[in-house]
Amino acid sequence: MSKDLTGKIILEGKEYEYPVIVGTENEKAIDIRKLRADSGYISFDDGYANTGSCKSDITFIDGEKGILRYRGIPIEQLAEKSTFLCAAHLIIYGELPNEQKLNAFREKVAGRARLHEDFKHHFEGFPPKAHPMAVLSSMLNSIGCYYPEMSSNNREQDLEQFDEAAALLISKVRTIAAATYRMSQGLPFIYPRKDLRYVENFLHMMFTEPYHPYNPPKEVVDALDLFLLLHADHEQNCSTSTVRMVASGGANMFASVSSGVCALWGPLHGGANAAVIKMLQEIHDSGDDGSRFIRAAKEGKARLMGFGHRVYKNYDPRAKIFGQAAERVLKALGRQDPLLDIAHHLEQAALSDDYFVERKLYPNVDFYSGIVLKAIGIPVDMFTVMFAIGRMPGWIANWKEIAETSRKIHRPRQIYTGSAKRDYVPMSQRK
Ligand code: CMC
């Protein structure tokens, strides 16, 4: 709260004065919490584009400048120097871990990878073609049932168990993802190995066969680790806000992150990475180099998936990093992907086109990430699941922030635009 700054709102000739909140990076907000009580008015902000729903210490984004920082540290530095688990620790606990703390965290995560054997029956309850996001969301909530001491919906108790639950979720989300893939392919489940690091263990559970171990090339491991790190948090996006909303009612972490998965699923959010690859493939199959698609997007007949962002009005810094990673991993694997050429062409065409320039539409995180995942061998239906594995630390940190600091349930208001009061019509008189 700034002592010097206030903001005034004049409604029907009456003036109301409210304090101004200033963030670490000088972001300002007028605190209108008392506006309705004072004046009868609420603020209206469809899609919350101009609403600060919370104060948070976790992630900072400057969308105009294309800046993203986890706990103050620029994403470019983390992408170059950190690993996913190290960044997860930073996001959840606020500090980069020293060697001892990182090893302890790794150990804890590695030790919690196995699923209860009952889960085989849970998986059998799904049709083989079930979407992996539906399976993931159900399974994450189910895990809570096996750990009632961590999912009590009693804040104090759930917080006492926080370290355990956080490591468990970061670990098991990856086991569930791999098991879902194996189920969809009619393949036997592969048990995790404690001697493998986070990403290697995931790839082992995905691609090892009982008669043939999978030893991923280093480039694949590095690319996937980078993918997870770049998705680890992104302030108040649709899924994280959902996690916070659910947590605000007092729900435990398992239930809260399970809702986050559902929110992530849609094509305007995490589902965009799969939608981008489908779009690029369709462009390729139709013999277009992207020019026809750009025209259709400008006429409102198509949407350029992986482009545009509610907050970024500049390059999403993650898109830049992924663009380079896609080149790197394809080169290292000695592969070419015509979809990468189409993506480059689309990017260049859009960046020099008035429609996209005027609307400040730039590539976002999903534009190149699918090409990276495809090169690694992840099936398209699993792309958004990969996003969910990466976003888990962010959801957990946001759940913790709510559980530790917020006592208020999230409950927006609305402007009612339906029928005015009218009487109940008996069935015999209805038209
Ligand atoms: N292709 C063509 N036109 C677009 C696009 C696009 N991808 N995105 C926005 N526009 C246009 C939109 O039609 C509108 O034009 P007009 O002012 O003439 O009506 C203008 O740009 C503003 O768009 P908006 O839909 O009001 O913007 P928003 O902030 O509500 O939506 C968005 C942001 C990300 C949902 C949107 O840009 C979009 O649908 N992008 C494609 C899907 C996508 O890539 N999603 C991933 C987002 S990043 C990762 C994540 O959050 O999960």
Mutate which of 75, 133, 230, 268 for ligand 1? The one with the most ligand atoms within 8 Å of its CB, which is 268
Same domain, 215 and 321: no
Determine the distance from the C-alpha atom of residue 5 to the mean position of all C-alpha atoms in its chain, rounded to a whole number.
Answer: 34
Same domain, 318 and 209: no
If residue 257 lies in a helix (H) or strand (E), which one and from where to where? Answer: helix 253-265
CB 201 within 8 A of CB 353: no
Ligand 1: lining residues by beta carbon, under 6 Å: 237, 268-270, 272, 297, 303-310, 359, 361, 364-366
How far apart are the CA of 303 and the centre of ligand 1, in A? 8
Q: What CATH number has the domain bearing residue 334?
A: 1.10.230.10
Q: Return d(Cα 80, Cα 141) in angstroms, integer.
A: 34
Q: Which is catalytic among the residues 204, 233, 309, 316?
A: 309
How far apart are the CA of 157 and the centre of ligand 1, in A? 41
Mutate which of 236, 243, 304 for ligand 1? The one with the most ligand atoms within 8 Å of its CB, which is 304
Q: Relative to the CA of 308, which ligand 1 atom is closest?
A: 37
Q: Relative to the CA of 307, which ligand 1 atom is closest?
A: 7
Closest C-alpha residue for ligand 1 atom 12 = 359
Instruction: Say which DSSP state 380 is in.
Output: G
Same domain, 179 and 307: no
Same domain, 283 and 340: yes
How far apart are the CA of 245 and the centre of ligand 1, in A? 24
Same domain, 110 and 257: yes
Mutate which of 361, 383, 386, 387 for ligand 1? The one with the most ligand atoms within 8 Å of its CB, which is 361
φ, ψ dihedrals at 167, nearest 5°? -65, -40
Same domain, 211 and 345: no
In a domain, 426, yes or no: no
The bridge status of strand 67-70 relative to strand 2-11 is unpaired
- pTM for the full model? 0.95
Q: Return d(Cα 87, Cα 333) in angstroms, integer.
A: 26
Q: What CATH number has the domain bearing residue 23?
A: 2.20.28
Same domain, 288 and 363: yes
How far apart are the CA of 310 and the centre of ligand 1, in A? 7
Q: How far is it between the farthest Cα atoms of the chain?
A: 79
Q: What CATH number has the domain bearing residue 207?
A: 1.10.580.10
Same domain, 36 and 120: no
**Amino acid in position 113:** A
| Residue among 275, 344, 409, 320 nearest 76 (CA) | 320
Same domain, 351 and 305: yes
Strand ranges of the sheet holding 67-70, from the earlier edge strand across to the other edge: 59-62, 67-70, 73-74
List of residues 6+ apart from 141 with CB closer than 8 A: 254, 255, 258
Bridge partners, 16 (sequence order): 9
Q: Is 309 a catalytic residue?
A: yes
Q: Is 204 a catalytic residue?
A: no
Same domain, 314 and 185: no
In a domain, 414, yes or no: no
pLDDT tens, per residue, the chain with 431 residues:
666 899 999 999 999 999 999 999 999 999 999 999 999 999 999 999 999 999 999 999 999 999 999 999 999 999 999 999 999 999 999 999 999 999 999 999 999 999 999 999 999 999 988 999 999 999 999 999 999 999 999 999 999 999 999 999 999 999 999 999 999 999 999 999 999 999 999 999 999 998 999 999 999 999 999 999 999 999 999 999 999 999 999 999 999 999 999 999 999 999 999 999 999 999 999 998 888 999 999 999 999 999 999 999 998 999 999 889 888 898 988 888 999 999 999 999 888 999 999 999 999 989 999 999 999 999 999 999 999 999 999 999 999 999 999 789 999 999 999 999 999 999 999 99
The residue range of the domain holding 308 is 272-376
How far apart are the CA of 235 and the centre of ligand 1, in A? 18
